[in-house]
Amino acid sequence: MSTTIDKYKKADAPLPDSYLAWLVYGAGFENVGRDGKPEQVPLRELKDNEILCRVDAVGLCLSDVKIINQGNNHPRLLGRDLAKEPTVLGHEASITVVKVGKNWQGKFNIGERYIVQADIYVDGVTCAFGYRIPGGLQQFCYLDDRALDGDDGNYLLPVKPETGYSQSALSEPWACVEMSYNLQDRFEPTGGPVLIVSDDADAQWCADHPDATVLPRSLDDLSDDDKFDDILLSEPTPELVTRLADHLNKGGVMYLLGAPAELGACSIDIGRIHYDDIRFYGGGQLVSDIQAANSRCDLLPQGASIFIGAGGPMGQMHVQRAIEVACGSRTVVVTDLDRSRLDHIEKRFGNLAKAKGVALHCLCADDFGSQDAMNEHIHEIAPDGYNDVCVLAPIPALVTYAMGLAADNALVNVFAGIPIGNPADIELADLCRGIKIIGSSGSRIDDLRKILRMVESSELNTNLSVAAIGGLNAAREGLEGVKSARFPGKTVIYPQIPQMDLIAVEDIPKKLPQLADKLDAEGAWTNEAENALIESMVP
């Protein structure tokens, strides 16, 4: 006899006449749904260029809250009147095909499972899932040729039948983390404008760029409108770096040759590093030496890493990755203002760290009596500095702090999205000793594909990120919890179980006793617990 979970996975049951959806009509939580509840929406006829998918699990994200805060003013929704054309949030979705339109017959089949690469582009224009295309906070979603045949082809990635729904849905936020360790930094000139501010440095590189603009160190004749893809600066000074930084094009690179001619801090727009991909490379007398010194983009294997402000969901993913992946760190330090979040990290990842031979340190200033005392302890753990420093709070001053913790040729990953227009004081000597500041936003389909492969080969357990679960009716409460940082990890919504309350994973043994023995030894969410949930609660 088939069990509920067997029938559920086949996805061939008769479709309902209507379904529940959280429609968003504008800015503010009062415009999410109607009277604080999801709405009943008719299940319309399928168009030839569409497939209909059941939504099985959705991870909630701070990006969802940004849409609620901004409404029509969100950059990905500009020009759309949500009051007349509402959308549905939820871009971290695991879905199952339940009906196939005429144009896609034979290409998609009922019961096939997928996850969605949310950053969908058509003719270079974004129409992201959970933004322009209604997302996963509904029981069913329609996907057309924008998602199925966009600029990168099919934006759906197939999922194996045995892979968990939450496990695969959370591949999307994990892909954003993974992308930050797979950035393809540019070292070759674009063919665009080049500026050389050098008396006699790297003569060969200068000779290779005969069309470059050459200026004296006084920067005579440099106008405010002059922009460059590459800038070569020898014997840099803080004043020169600060001034020239404003002349980098998007994706621009500044090479800092040799030691500083003057010590001091330069002012660098950290938001441009994150969103405009500008880079500052030092660490050698020749461009070729600097390029070699800055070639690393992932963690230094068996190195020391520190994650600043890492108590939230994305920070915990960075920490787990540093412990779990093959190229991970030998020493992992985690800081946060909230001791309870650090306790959660120790509980979730302590045994994993021991099994991997990783020294895990979770530090809160309250434990030391002062920030200065904690800083002293941080330096004692890695007296030669940290090979990898990750900043997970959007505060420019933390980037300055991070640079002071970094070893020579370290990576400083500004993962927190600091808006453009926010400068930080960066000691020029730190840049000249080869510390590379990087930043990234979103993910690519290849990053999602890599994470899904790691999940399905048991290299990465995304379920360790789950801190709370809930049914579709609890989605608004879950989003409010994301805004208030109520839970230390990810909240996963199960749209096909609308009536379930929002439940912290730690409370599952008490509130869902039928799942208690399905959690892992540390009390974390598992595929077995998810199957038991579906078995016991799906109507």
Domain borders along the chain are 4-180+446-505, 194-293, 304-422+435-441
CA distances 200 to 232, 285, 349, 428, Å, are 11, 11, 52, 21
Q: Environment class of residue 326 by beta-carbon count within 10 Å: exposed (0-12), middle (13-18) or buried (19+)?
A: exposed
User: CB atoms < 10 A from the CB of 184, how many?
Assistant: 7
Amino acid identity at 11: A
- How far apart CA 180 and CA 315 sit, in angstroms, is 12
Q: Environment class of residue 91 by beta-carbon count within 10 Å: exposed (0-12), middle (13-18) or buried (19+)?
A: buried
3-state secondary structure of 288: helix
CATH architecture of 4-180+446-505: Alpha-Beta Complex (3.90)
Tell me the β-bridge partners of 37: 34
CA distances 184 to 304, 317, 327, 438, 448, Å, are 23, 21, 18, 11, 16
CATH number of 194-293: 3.40.50.720
**Structure pTM?**
0.92
- Please say whether the structural domain 304-422+435-441 has been given the CATH code 3.40.50.720: yes
Q: Do the Cβ atoms of 440 and 179 come closer than 8 Å?
A: yes
Ordered mean pLDDT values, 10 residues apiece, the chain (539 residues): 83 96 97 96 97 98 94 89 96 98 97 96 93 97 97 96 97 95 89 87 85 92 95 96 97 96 97 94 94 95 97 96 95 96 95 97 95 97 98 96 97 93 97 95 89 95 96 98 94 97 97 96 95 93
Tell me the β-bridge partners of 306: 333, 389
Identical fold for domains 4-180+446-505 and 304-422+435-441, yes or no, is: no
Nearest-CA neighbor of 120 among 76, 151, 89?
151
pLDDT at 406 (0 to 100): 98
Tokens of 147: 């998602």
Tokens of 406: 């970094």
Residues 6+ positions from 165 with CB-CB distance below 8 Å: 56, 57, 94, 494, 530
pLDDT at 380 (0 to 100): 98
Amino acid identity at 347: K
pLDDT at 399 (0 to 100): 97
Q: Do the Cβ atoms of 270 and 280 come closer than 8 Å?
A: no
